[in-house]
């Protein structure tokens, strides 16, 4: 087809996809083209702005590697990650809400027993975490696989420390027969998402901050139940209402209780202050 103009090009592009074998792919790309073309028309996109956009996406790709996922950061900061998570994780009342996965999960985290210290030397004040894994009727979920990860007191995940291959403040454990779990880690602190790249420059240009409220990541899986990917957020954090990635849910906010030096929940005599966090997770049954 020749001699297309700004009024006819959209239909011409869509016509090229008419015979795609993958119906779901055709549906997605058709909608994407319609919305992209409508966006360009709505803002009267200039060639210079289009070139800047291409340059921005190229820079996002160049900075992305095995240790840093700038495309996930971009999706997170635009609210797209949380939108997709919310649509994909509609749950009955009472079940623990899901939130964004984030860019710092890694496969192959070390296995721990209940009661172990998953911090593995990460900087931070000691924190003892405990709770139960339950089903929607309150039943104990035994042997649920619990993957936990968090940033250290400096606001960095282990994978952000160049040259240090050790896993710190992350690990895998399993719930006990009564659904309980307990481990030692460090107190969660607020931290900025990586903002020294194109996504950071975008936030600055928009007058936005890069900070996330203090939280622990959890991914919990068990036979017969839906996978749960979520956070537990620290009550009182000043960024709870302005999370850079829009991930906070009121039901996921909990208190870290601070204690002076003394006997910890596991019987350890602590010579420095420590905190405790107790949080129960309710899994939704799989269909």
152 and 200 within one domain: yes
143 and 31 within one domain: no
Q: How confident is the model over 186-204, as a mean pLDDT?
A: 96
How many of the other CB atoms lie within 10 Å of CB of 150?
Answer: 29
Report the CATH number that the domain containing residue 243 is assigned in CATH.
Answer: 2.60.130.10
What is the DSSP secondary structure assignment for residue 37, as one 8-state letter? Answer: H
Can you tell me the distance from the alpha carbon of 133 to that of 143, in angstroms, rounded to the nearest whole number?
A: 9
With respect to residue 178, please indicate whether it lies within any of the assigned structural domains. yes
Secondary structure (DSSP) of 167-202:
--SEEEEE--TTSEEEEEEE----EEPP-SSHHHHH
Q: What predicted TM-score, i.e. pTM, was given to this entire model?
A: 0.91
142 and 5 within one domain: no
With respect to residue 66, please indicate whether it lies within any of the assigned structural domains. no
User: Is pLDDT of 253 > 70?
Assistant: yes
Secondary structure (DSSP) of 97-117:
PP----S---S-PPB--TT-B
User: Is pLDDT of 158 > 80?
Assistant: yes
Q: What is the pLDDT of residues 234-244, one digit of tens each?
A: 999 999 999 99
Q: How confident is the model over 22-32, as a mean pLDDT?
A: 97
User: Is pLDDT of 66 > 90?
Assistant: no
Q: Which two tokens stand for residue 231?
A: 């956070």
Tell me the residue range of the domain where 2 lies.
1-45
19 and 145 within one domain: no
Q: Which one is predicted more confidently, 61 or 104? A: 61
Domains of the chain: total: 2
138 and 255 within one domain: yes
With respect to residue 58, please indicate whether it lies within any of the assigned structural domains. no
237 and 140 within one domain: yes
Q: What is the pLDDT of residues 106-136, one digit of tens each?
A: 899 999 999 999 999 999 999 999 999 999 9
């Amino acid at each position: 087809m020749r001699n297309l103009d700004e009024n006819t090009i959209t239909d011409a592009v869509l016509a090229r996809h008419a015979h795609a074998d993958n119906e779901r792919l055709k549906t997605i790309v058709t909608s994407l083209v319609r919305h992209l073309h409508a966006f360009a028309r709505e803002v009267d996109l200039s060639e210079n702005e289009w070139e800047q956009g291409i340059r921005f996406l190229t820079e996002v790709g160049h900075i992305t590697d095995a240790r840093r996922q700038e495309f996930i950061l971009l999706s997170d900061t635009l609210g797209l990650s949380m939108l997709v998570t919310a649509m994909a994780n509609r749950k009955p009342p009472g079940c623990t809400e899901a939130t964004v996965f984030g860019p710092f999960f890694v496969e192959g985290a070390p296995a721990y027993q209940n009661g172990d210290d998953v911090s593995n030397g990460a900087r931070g004040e000691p924190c003892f975490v405990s709770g139960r894994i339950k089903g929607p009727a309150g039943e104990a979920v035994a042997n649920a696989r619990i993957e936990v990860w968090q940033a250290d007191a400096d606001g960095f995940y282990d994978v952000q420390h160049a040259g240090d291959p050790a896993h710190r403040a992350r690990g895998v454990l399993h719930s006990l027969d009564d659904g309980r779990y307990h481990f030692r880690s460090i107190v969660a602190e607020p931290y900025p998402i990586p903002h020294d790249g194109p996504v950071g420059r975008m936030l600055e240009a928009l007058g936005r901050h890069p900070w996330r409220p203090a939280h622990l990541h959890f991914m919990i899986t068990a036979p017969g139940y839906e996978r749960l990917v979520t956070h537990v957020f620290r009550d009182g954090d000043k960024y709870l209402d302005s999370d850079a990635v829009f991930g906070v849910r009121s039901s996921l906010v909990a208190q870290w209780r601070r204690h002076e030096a003394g006997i910890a929940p596991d019987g350890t005599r602590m010579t420095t202050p420590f905190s405790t966090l107790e949080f129960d997770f309710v899994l939704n049954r799989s269909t």
